[in-house]
Structure formats: structure tokens, C-alpha cells
Amino acid sequence: MPLPLALRVALWSWLLAALAVGRSEILARLPAPVTPAVLAALTGALVLAYRLIGSFRAWVDSLDLRAIVLFHVTRFVGFYFLVLFWRGDLPYAFAVPGGLGDIAVAVLALVVALLPFSDFNRARFTYLWNVIGFIDLLLVVGTALRFAFSRQSYELAELTRLSLSLLPTFLVPLLLASHLAIFARLKRAGT
């Protein structure tokens, strides 16, 4: 089922706005707690859209769960977190646990989506992967929140500039919302 035109325009507009925000480095000029607030607002908007916009929910629900899981290979961005830590641009407490966790979730996404499991086992492994991936993402966001509300907020300045600014303004809200959509789909399926 194709995504309705209005929703495609909305998603592309959102991506372009996120790119503009990153390019302008507006997040760097705002108080540090604004970035997590933006992430929360965007995630909330996606969850509301899923719940309230029937055509969007129908489109998400029409996707093969493996495609949604494969979207999480974007979490190989964890390698870049590790590079930035080694360069001294991100703190250990954020980059290393977050980077390693994201890499593990991305690898497991490939396993869950691509290995030839029975439908029953695929559903079980997808649920287990989803729990692990969701918790990992919440821990990374929680660590970023801790930095945002501390005197060390400057240590996550990389997240306010392109390309990492796309994490709080675009990718992480999509990832969080996709975890919630997977939980909803599996619950409806009785998994």
C-alpha cells in the first residue's frame, strides 16, 4: 500500500526542515534541554499520527514487519559515535554504551529480518529484538537527557550540528515510534 501523497509530502517536509535546522545549527544556540524536548514532541506527533490518522496507520500496518525492523540498521551510526569518542568529540558515557548498543541492535535487526525463521519464531524473535532495541534507545536518550540538564551539556554539541542533528530531529523519533508500532502490531497478532 503506497503512502498517501499528503503524508509523503509531510515526511519529506519534515526531513527538509530537520536538514535546515542542522545546517543552521539553531539547536546549538538554544538551551540544551530544547533538543530533547524537540525529540519528545516529534515522537509524540508520530505516535498521535499513528493513532489518529487512519491512512497513516493503515500504511504502517501494511508494511512487512521485517521492513520496519530493517529500518533499524540505521543504528550502525553507533560506529560513528565510537569514532567521535576516539576523536574526543563525544563523551564516553554517551558514545561508547550508546554506540555499542546501537551496533548490537542493528546486527540483531539483520538477523531477525533476514534469517529464515518460521512465522512463529520470527514473531517471538522480533518481539525480543524490539524489547532490546527499545530499551537501548531509551537508555541512549536518557543519557543524552542527563547531559542536557547538566553543566556538561556542551559535551553533546555534536548532536546539534549536521549530520548528527538529524538524530534528535528526525531519525530517533522515527525509531522510537517504529518500536511502538511493532509492539502494537505484535500485540494485535497475539504475540
3-state secondary structure the chain: CCCCHHHHHHHHHHHHHHHHHHHHCHHHHCCCCHHHHHHHHHHHHHHHHHHHCHHHHHHHHHCCHHHHHHHHHHHHHHHHHHHHHHHCCCCHHHHHHHHHHHHHHHHHHHHHHHCCCCHHHHHHHHHHHHHHHHHHHHHHHHHHHHHHCCCCHHHHHHHHCCCCCHHHHHHHHHHHHHHHHHHHHHHHCCC
Copy the grid coordinates of residue 52: 489518529
Q: What is the per-residue pLDDT for 154?
A: 85
Q: What is the per-residue pLDDT for 190?
A: 83
pLDDT, tens only, 12-58: 999 999 999 999 999 999 998 899 999 999 999 999 999 999 999 99
Question: Measuring CA to CA, how many Å separate 162 from each of 19, 30, 33, 40, 63?
Answer: 7, 16, 18, 19, 30
Instruction: Give the model's confidence band at 189: pLDDT under 50 very low, under 70 low, under 90 confident, else very high.
Output: confident
Q: What is the per-residue pLDDT for 151?
A: 77
Q: What is the per-residue pLDDT for 140?
A: 95
Q: What is the per-residue pLDDT for 77?
A: 97
For residue 191, pLDDT beyond 80: no
Find, among 72, 73, 49, the residue nearest to 61 by Cα. 49
pLDDT, tens only, 135-175: 999 999 999 999 888 877 789 999 999 999 999 999 999 99
pLDDT, tens only, 85-115: 999 999 999 999 999 999 999 999 999 999 9
For residue 185, pLDDT beyond 80: yes
